Amino acid sequence: MKPHKTMAEQHADKCIHFNGLINKKCEAGIAYPDDWRKNPCHKSSGLSCKKQRFPTEEETKIFIEETEKHFEGMRKAFQLVSKIKKEHKGEGWSGIEVCPVCGGKLHLAHAAFNGHVWGKCETEKCLAWME
C-alpha cells in the first residue's frame, strides 16, 4: 500500500492550471485527455504539455498557510453551527450572527428536513460553506 501524500506533496504535484477533471479544459485552455490516466497535469504522471507549470516551494508554502487558516476559521464556525443545530433542531431557520473569524455579518440558514447549516460571511474571502 502506498503511503498517503502530505497536502504539500499533493499541491506540488499538480500543475497550477489544473482545475479538476469535471471540466473539459484546464485554466490554460488545454483540453484534458479522454483517458484520465494520461493526464499530464500531475508531475507524478511523467507526462508533459506545453503550458505545464508546477508550483514553486514558496507557492506551496503559501497554499498550505492559506488552507490551514481556512480550516481554523471553519473550526471556529462549526462551534456556532453546533449551537444552531441544537437550538433549531427540526425547524427551518435563517439569521445573521457575528462571524467568529472577522467579526462581520455571517448569514446562516438551517434546514428542518436534514439539519444542515449553510453559511456565508459578507466579508470577501471569509467563511462560506454548504453542508
Model pLDDT for residues 5-22, shown as the tens digit of each residue: 899 999 999 999 999 989
As a whole number of angstroms, the distance between CA 94 and CA 8 comes to 37
pTM: 0.74
Tell me the three state secondary structure of residue 50: coil
CB of 15 closer than 8 Å to CB of 41? yes
As a whole number of angstroms, the distance between CA 77 and CA 100 comes to 6
pLDDT digits (tens, 9 = 90+) for 28-69: 999 999 888 888 999 989 999 999 999 999 999 999 999 999
β partners of residue 108: 95, 119
Q: How far is CA 19 from the centre of its chain?
A: 12
